Amino acid sequence: MRILIIILINCCILTSAQNDSANNQAISYDDKIILRFNLDTNIDNYVISSKELNVKPRLEINNQVNTTFGVDYKIISASVSFAPKFFPGNNNELKGKSSFTSYNFRFFPKNIIQTLSYTNSKGFYITNTRDFISGWQKGKDPYLTFPDLRIQSFGGSTTYIFNKNFSLKGIYYQKEWQTESRGSFVPALNYSYLIFSDHQNSVKSKEKQLNISFDGGYYYNYVVTKHFNIAPFVYAGLGKKWSRSKDDVTKNALEKQNYFTQNFGGGIHLGYNTEKLFFGSKFNYSGNHYKDDSSNIINNNFYVLFFLGYRLSPPAKVKKMYDQIEEKIPAL
């Protein structure tokens, strides 16, 4: 219910904001349809550190490369991500079967970037299986797996750019091209509702989490040439996590816990841009840490992303349809 209230509040922000950005130091491509193709190694991994364990289990999904297709027009953006089985490194037989799908929707009113997302991941394995099985050989023996472990995430974020002459949506979504080097402080409110479910040894278990965090970051866009830019960033923040869990054995006993979380990360963006064609890469690191009784739960994520995109004029019917909707919903 809390996550629904937050989303509704932000939708109200969207409907009251007008798309009249005062950024005079950026070339806008809002009147173009933007088609985007990404390849990335954005794979979550979880490390559990406990006084009761001599080694730290490292959980990871059995995919190495994800693919994303996206389309943008005006202030609306949508994309879908998945992990193709035919890519090398995806669904290695020794690591068990995995599946991954993610849907993202974004809106860009004024200096705000609003994101809503849904992610579904299933099938994990222990990357350091050698620490648990004596004589285990990499490349020959199967890993310890959790084929029924499923993680569903419903979430979003609300990001605000303080400097009106700095274009964050130009760096990340190629909806603009900044003409002069600028930086900005960028705070973000993040929220997600996660459902963890598993089936091990005839025992079904489920955990539900509500996460809310606030991050403060600084981004800088260095315009090297007319067509090339470099944009580093760094952020850190704090949050709160509420958890409820139960299983078939203790289904009458509902365990409730809450934790304070620490978030941090950074990265760099390299991009090349022309009026129609753009491409580049991103190198990102993000970390999340919280303490669960005697255990430290760490979620580290380092990934590389390559993107390629093309801008084209919208078909007359699409433009007419959007204009008609815009008349009824001025926020668009």
Return the pLDDT at 279: 97
pLDDT at site 195: 92
| pLDDT the model gives residue 284 | 93
Residue where the block lists tokens 């978030």: 263
CB-neighbour burial class of residue 31 (10 A; exposed 0-12, middle 13-18, buried 19+): exposed
pTM: 0.83
Q: Which residues of the chain have a pLDDT value below 70?
A: 1-24, 48-54, 247-254, 292-296, 298, 330-332
Q: Which fold has domain 2-328?
A: Lipocalin (2.40.128)
Model pLDDT, residue 52: 62
Task: List the chain domain ranges.
Answer: 2-328
Place of tokens 């955990």: 207
Which pLDDT score, from 0 to 100, does residue 22 have?
A: 46
State whether residue 5 is helix, strand or coil: helix
Taking the CA atoms of residue 149, residue 127, residue 118 and residue 208 in that order, the dihedral angle to the nearest 10 degrees is 50
Q: Kindly state the tokens that stand for 110.
A: 């004024």
* Structure-token pair, residue 157: 């974020």
% of the chain beyond a pLDDT of 70: 85
Q: How far is Cα 95 from Cα 139, in angstroms, rounded to an integer?
A: 10
Identify the pLDDT of residue 199: 82
pLDDT of 4 reads 39
| Average pLDDT of every residue of the chain | 84
Convert the pLDDT of each residue in 234-245 to its tens digit: 999 999 989 887
In this predicted structure, what is the pLDDT of residue 11? 44
CA 8 to centroid of chain Cα atoms: 20
Q: What is the CA radius of gyration of the chain?
A: 22
- Residue 95, helix vs strand vs coil: helix
Are 204 and 196 contacting, i.e. CB atoms less than 8 angstroms apart?
Answer: no
What's the pLDDT at 45? 74
